Amino acid sequence: MLLCATFCAFSQHYQVDTLYKTGSLDKRINVVILGDGFTKDEMPKFVLEARKFADFLRECEPFVHYRDYFNFFTIQTPSPESGITNPGTAADAVPGQPVETKNTFFGVSFGSYTQRLMTIAKWEVYQALLKSHLPEQNLVIMLANSSYLGGSGGSTAIFTLQGMPNETGRHEVGHTFANLADESWNDAVFGREAPNMTSQEMPGPVKWHSWLNYPPISIYQYGSGEASHWCRPSPGECSMAYLDKPFCAVCTEAIVERIFSLVSPIDRFIPGNANATNVDAGATFKLDLVKPVPNSLQAEWRLNGMLIADNVDQVVLKPDEVTDWSTLAATVFDSTALSRKDNARQLRTKTISWSLRSSLPAVLKVAASKAVTCAGDTVIVTAYGCPGKVSWANGAVGNSLTAVPTQTTTYSASCEFTGYPSMRAEATVTVLPLPNATVDNGSPYTVGATVELHAAGGVEYEWAGPRLFHADTPDAKFRNVTLSHAGTYQVKVSDDKGCSKTLYTEVHVDPILSMPTDPTQWVKVSPNPAKERVAVETMLPGESLFTLFDQSGRKLVSRLFKQKMEIRLEGAAGLYIYKFTNGKRQVSGKIVKQ
């Protein structure tokens, strides 16, 4: 059932319809669908198309998993005339598409830079309408009443009602909602850094490095020329390249992270935390969560830093469990496999804390975010139960201390507060050493040689290097090296305790061809059989001597050359003998003249 409301804008009333409402506007992503070029009589058509697209998007990956994070609305804005303006001035104007000017509510038009690129001319009207009708909007979609292909994805996702309107709309929403780039090449002016577009070609630092082991995700150049300066993650298997495709893994991640940035999975919590909660009679603490489908939320409840429950929506604290000035914290993390973003847990964890009062005397407690960690990792140590000033043994002041320990360390804190006895507490963080890892290679190499990389000291290895190099073994090699293979190679070495160290080794390639050891590879004479001329080629460095004899042993040609030369066969048809010399290397062969 549609829930309708009217608002006043420009001294007129425009109807707002609620298609889907899953929560309050301040706790959801609010999608508003507008229409341009629909007359009053065509409003039922607009509402029908808007609902079709809302239903389509709610069933698309990854939106289908987060449907409860979105509200959908429409605003009916009838246009004086039906259709969309087409000035026909674009260089790639479509033959047969009528050139016409339409009087429409927002002034949407084709032909902005390219024929299919659409823009809004009446920008002030557009902004004023949203401000007065739905200022809480997060995503605006515009349906343009035309049967010709067109769209754009700037601040507004615009698309027409041509043959694949929903698929086109999904593509444009990718632009508008998640700042995704096209994965098909249009023009150098559209080249930019985006979640799915980069000028970085190295696997290590590329934005989507976490997905490089997830085929077909890799690093693909857009094309040649200007396009070769930009890379995309998918070989065309993505909605940002072809409308009939779903979003690739990298684009899906960008959309999911955008959702996380706008909506907290914690919809409501009980009791409130503006004031301290007294637990002398016991107390129940509850979270109302907005759960994805399937549910990927992980909840942890900690009392003074100690885990007391996980993956439950509520806990009950008994009076004898809580000392005065304690802290209860509930953290919620979305563990979805749809995103592999670096530091996801830190970025995506939402925390609600309650200060607790109790008739039991306060007890100072110290807890670390990680009781066991790897050398060089960051640890947060927190003191709980102090109503006053917390001082640490290293001279720091405050409830929490951030540390990067390199060895097992004990952190001591003291609490001072008027009317309370002085309290002291400590916590020990066990620090595991990093793997005793090593890395090397056999540089320098010559062009055409085989590069051999060596790492040791771990149980798992992740190599990355120039030209999309990957390997997961301690020893890695590749043949036929070129100058473009030179550069820095990195390997992440992990031990059986989960600690890792990243090492680097520099591969040097000299612009000298590698020298084959097989004499048959020292020289190439072609064609053979031959008619009038033959080409002589070698990969060996320096000068080479090529001597040609007839069957009687008479010397016909003797010539010094480097790399490549051509000689003319002057004699009659028959068999000829050649001798090739390069330094101490010497090989003979036969040439048949036809």
| Angle separating helix axes 43-59 and 165-178, nearest 10 degrees | 70
Q: Identify the pLDDT of residue 8.
A: 43
Alpha helices in 328-477 (DSSP H): 344-348
Does residue 384 surpass a pLDDT of 70?
yes
Does residue 349 surpass a pLDDT of 60?
yes
* Per-residue pLDDT tens over the stretch 251-261: 999 999 999 99
Q: Identify the pLDDT of residue 546.
A: 93
Q: Identify the pLDDT of residue 520.
A: 76
* Per-residue pLDDT tens over the stretch 323-342: 999 999 999 999 999 999 98
The CATH number that domain 523-593 falls under is 2.60.40.3080
Q: Write the DSSP symbol of residue 170.
A: H
Query: Of 3.30.470.20, 3.90.79.10, 3.30.930.10, 2.60.40.10, which CATH number belongs to 438-510?
Result: 2.60.40.10
Range in 468-472, 499-503, 566-570 with the lowest mean pLDDT: 468-472
Distance CA 7, CA 3 (A): 13
How is residue 107 written in tokens?
A: 């002034």
Q: Identify the pLDDT of residue 4.
A: 45
The CATH number that domain 16-178 falls under is 3.40.390.10
Distance CA 427, CA 406 (A): 16
Distance CA 249, CA 251 (A): 6
Distance CA 39, CA 77 (A): 8
Q: Identify the pLDDT of residue 570.
A: 86
- From the number of C-beta atoms within 10 Å of its C-beta (0-12, 13-18, 19+), residue 256 rates as buried
Question: 247-256, 345-354, 437-446, 556-565 — which one is most confidently predicted on average?
Answer: 247-256
* pLDDT band per the 50, 70, 90 thresholds, residue 505: very high
Does residue 137 surpass a pLDDT of 90?
yes
Distance CA 407, CA 335 (A): 30
Taking all residues of the chain, what is their mean pLDDT, rounded to a whole number?
92
Of the chain, the end-to-end C-alpha distance in Å amounts to 90
Does residue 395 surpass a pLDDT of 50?
yes
Does residue 247 surpass a pLDDT of 70?
yes
Range in 130-139, 157-166, 458-467, 506-515 with the lowest mean pLDDT: 506-515
CA atoms within 13 A on the CB side of 528: 16
Question: What is the 3-state secondary structure of 527-557?
Answer: CCCECCEEEEECCCCCCEEEEEECCCCCEEE
Q: What proportion of the chain, given as a percentage, has pLDDT over 90? A: 76
Closest CA to 154 of 181, 189, 135, 131: 181
Please report, for the chain, the start and end positions of each structural domain, with discontinuous segments joined by +: 16-178, 183-242, 266-432, 438-510, 523-593
Distance CA 588, CA 578 (A): 6
Range in 23-27, 195-199, 208-212 with the lowest mean pLDDT: 208-212
* pLDDT band per the 50, 70, 90 thresholds, residue 2: very low
> What is the amino acid identity at position 241?
A
Stretch 174-178: mean pLDDT: 98
Closest CA to 252 of 200, 348, 194, 174: 174
| Angle separating helix axes 165-178 and 249-262, nearest 10 degrees | 60
Distance CA 238, CA 432 (A): 43
Which helix (H) or strand (E) covers residue 318, if one does?
Answer: none
Of 51 and 449, the one with more pLDDT: 51
Q: Do domains 16-178 and 438-510 have the same CATH topology?
A: no
Please say whether the beta carbons of 46 and 38 come within 8 A. Answer: yes
**SS3 assignment, position 206:** coil
Distance CA 92, CA 148 (A): 14
How is residue 124 written in tokens?
A: 């002030």
* pLDDT band per the 50, 70, 90 thresholds, residue 480: confident
How is residue 92 written in tokens?
A: 């790639």
pTM above 0.85, yes or no: no
Q: Which residue has the tokens 């027409």?
A: 160
> What is the amino acid identity at position 252?
T
How is residue 238 written in tokens?
A: 């993505």
Which residues touch 34 (CB under 8 Å, ≥6 apart)? Answer: 74, 75, 77, 106, 126, 129, 140, 141, 142, 143
